[in-house]
A and B are shown apart, each in its own frame.
Chain A
Amino acid sequence: MADARQTALSEALSEPVWPASPPLFRIAGVALAVALLAYPLVFTGTFSHHLMIMIFLHAIMAQSWNVIAGMSGQISLGHSLFFGLGAYASAVLYVKLGVTPWVGLVAGMSISALVAAAIGIPTLRLRGHYFAIATLLIGISAQIIFQRWEWVGAASGIWMPIERNNPWLAFQFHGTKLPYYYLSLLFCTLSFAVVWFLQRTRLGMRLLAVRDEPEAAASLGIDVAWHKVVAFMISGAMMSAAGTFFAQYVLVIDPDRVFNLELSVLALLMVVLGGTGTLWGPALGAAILIPLSEFTRTWFGGTGGTVDLIIYGILILLICIYQPRGLLSLVTERLRRRVDTL
């Protein structure tokens, strides 16, 4: 009996820590990578590039929201705050001081992480919905502050001066969207890497524990409140990077656009739709919702903005009723069952 247990233990110890993904998955992953790299060369239309850039950008936002909600279990309803901070940090530094947006990107991420800590330290100690309410109100307040802040252009926002000589340094590209496409793909991949890496580190595993059962997590030596704050800081910095990218993509930012409550809701919707706490769910949510919104806008004209919201609402209702773990679980649960029966 004891020998059998010893044998089973040494067998288990010889397994890799993280099981390798099935060959099918690896092939699919490579195929997806090739397809995404080749896409803009095959589909050369401006709109087809724009659509994918929007999907990547929103996938970053979704992945950011996934870190705070999916990994630490805290619902932020004010994530547009960090999007706006990222957009404004790089734009203000560029317009006022001539600092390259690449430095602005890092500055925005740092500011966002600090703001996240300032919000998180008092609010993440509280239980229940206080954090959600606090983030919602702070997100709305930030928009109002920037609408009235003359130094950063108040309600009319900031126009970035056109710079054609040094596109990479100025982080703006004219006449082609290709650099934006590959940059957003790179940013998006990095946001995936953050979540992938987190899931395999002490910090990430502890976050999942905090999400699932905070009291049990504390009994294992985990400082629950601090872990939530760290997750919020990482999440805020990621959202901020998306904001900087967006500012450099459209080159005109104003509070109504970058501090828009709708962005916070959209981030939530994408993650819930795709699968909270999963690696691929947020991207799946973005890949479904963003084309929906872009196409309804072209089909229904200016009023399309409300049509897509109605469809979002219906989708979320359906997800909550039929597939509360998100669309991705349709695939993963089926796969698991197949693996188990093998």
Chain B
Amino acid sequence: MTELLKVVGLSKRFGGVKANEDISFDARKGEILGIIGPNGAGKSTLFDLLTGYQEPDSGTVVLNGHTITGMRPDRISRMGVGRTFQKLKPFPDLTLIENVMVGALARTSNIREARDQALEAIAFVDLLAKRHSFARELSTGQRKRLELARALATGPRLLLLDEVTGGVDQKTIPGLIDLVQALRGRGITILTIEHNMQVVMEVSDRILALQFGKRIAFGLPDAVRSDPHVVDAYLGSADAA
């Protein structure tokens, strides 16, 4: 498989806190890459560095052969990188269709085409029944689907999902997992931050594990699960106990 994303030595500090320290990994075309780590491990910071919301202190991000390090978020988006936000950011005073249309308008300036593409994305996340509702009227799970559809409508090659299953009730999780897998079916490469270990082991081709801003493991799910550093991070080290 060919490499879509290559990250080398990415570091970011906020004051005295090293949010990300020398993080390197790669993602292949069509891959689902799970990103795990305890709270404060630097997962969301990593997403912000990859999508231009924060500028790294050092390191490079290469997308499909182009260096995108330090570019503005809108430019990175136009290079084919879509994302959702951990703290959801729907456009509250727009309807669901309009929310997703704004995404589709990244690809076309024709309103009718954008509407049609938006509806397809909304159908994909199975939320058509709510299409005329204002985003502020939707539940958390529905807003997550909205963000997914909106990012999808931009036609991304790489999609960064920040806790798709976080904060939604248990019974909607399988549906969201199916969605993530269906996205891969469309040839989209996915980086997904997950707290739910079962979910991440199930969907990921490979897993990147972070702790205290550092990469502690990177590889196949089984290898990462049994990695001593990862076990430590999640269960607490034997020394501390």
Contact = CB atoms under 8 A, between A and B. Distances in A.
B73 A218 contact: yes
A23 interface: no
A9 B109 CA distance: 22
A203 to B, nearest CB: 9
B142 to A, nearest CB: 16
Nearest to A205: B102
Contact of B105 (A8, A12, A206, A215): A206
A201 B102 contact: no
A5 interface: yes
A221 B72 contact: no
Contacts of B126: 5
A302 to B, nearest CB: 42
B77 A212 contact: no
B90 interface: yes
Interface string B91-121: 1111000100111011001011011100110
Contact of B123 (A5, A212, A216): A5
A284 to B, nearest CB: 18
Which of the four size classes fits the interface of chain B?
A: 35 or more
Given A12-B123, A202-B111, A213-B89, A221 B128 contact: no
Nearest to B160: A219
A244 to B, nearest CB: 32
B219 to A, nearest CB: 29
Contact of B89 (A8, A17, A215, A224): A215
A198 interface: no
A219 B92 contact: no
A302 B119 CA distance: 59
Nearest to B113: A17
A219 B131 CA distance: 21
Given A216-B90, A221-B74, A209 B111 contact: no
Contacts of B128: 5, 8-9, 12
A202 to B, nearest CB: 5
Contact of A208 (B51, B91, B114, B150): B91
A223 B74 contact: yes
A220 interface: yes
B72 to A, nearest CB: 7
A326 B82 CA distance: 35
Contacts, number: 98
A201 B74 contact: no
A215 B151 CA distance: 13
Contacts of A201: 111
A5 B82 CA distance: 25
B119 A12 contact: yes
Interface residues of A, number: 27
A195 to B, nearest CB: 15
B13 interface: no
A205 B115 CA distance: 12
Nearest to B132: A19
Contacts of A215: 53, 73, 85, 89
B208 to A, nearest CB: 21
A contact face: mostly helix, strand, loop, or mixed: helix
Nearest to B114: A202
A218 B105 contact: no
B66 interface: no
Interface in A172-230: 200-202, 205-206, 208-209, 212-213, 215-224
A212 B91 contact: yes
A205 B119 contact: no
A216 B77 contact: no
A220 B150 contact: yes
B74 A209 contact: no
Which of A9, A12, A13, A200 is packed against the most chain B CB atoms within 10 Å?
A: A12
A335 to B, nearest CB: 14
Interface in A304-337: none
Nearest to B98: A205
Contact of B129 (A8, A202, A219): A8
A200 B105 CA distance: 12
Interface string A9-29: 100110001000000000000
B75 to A, nearest CB: 8
Contact of B91 (A9, A200, A209, A218): A209
B102 A9 contact: no
A219 B77 contact: yes
Given A200-B111, A208-B102, A219-B85, 10 more contacts: A5-B126, A9-B123, A208-B94, A208-B98, A209-B94, A212-B94, A215-B85, A219-B51, A220-B105, A222-B74
11 contacts: A8-B128, A9-B120, A12-B119, A12-B131, A208-B98, A209-B102, A212-B92, A212-B93, A218-B52, A219-B51, A221-B154
Interface of B: 51-53, 72-74, 77-78, 82-83, 85, 89-94, 98, 101-103, 105-106, 109, 111-112, 114-116, 119-120, 122-123, 126, 128-129, 131, 147, 150-151, 154
Interface of A: 5-6, 8-9, 12-13, 17, 200-202, 205-206, 208-209, 212-213, 215-224, 277
